[in-house]
Structure 1
Amino acid sequence: MPNQRESNIEDFAFNYIPSYYTTRTGIETIIVDKAARTRQGYVADGFFSFKNSEKSLFIASLSTKNSSSIASLLTGYKKNGLSKMRYLAAAVLFAIAMFAGLKAAHWTLVFILPVAAALAGFILYTVLEKKHLKRKVEHLLDDIMRLPADERWLGISISSLVFRNNDLAKHLLCICQRRGVGVITVGKRSKVVLMQEPQTQTCRRGDFLSHYEAEARIRKALLGESYLRVA
Structure 2
Amino acid sequence: MDTVPTVPVLLALLTFPLINFKSPPFFTKFNILDTVFVMYLLFFTFSKALECDFNVDIWNEASPNFAALYNLKFPALTGTLALSYFIHNAVLTVLRNQKNPENNARDLSIGYALSAICYIFTGFTFYSDFPTFRSCIAVNFLNNFGSGDVLSAAAQVFLLFQMITVPPLLIYLIRAQLSYLATGDVYPGLSYVCLLNLGIISIAVLFAIFYPYVSSILRYVGSLSLRSHLHLHPAMHKLFFD
TM-score (norm. length: structure 1): 0.21
Question: Going by fraction, where is helix more abundant, 1 or 2?
Answer: 2
Pair member with larger Rg: 1
Answer 1 or 2: higher relative contact order, Cα 8 Å, separation at least 6. Answer: 2
Question: Going by fraction, where is strand more abundant, 1 or 2?
Answer: 1
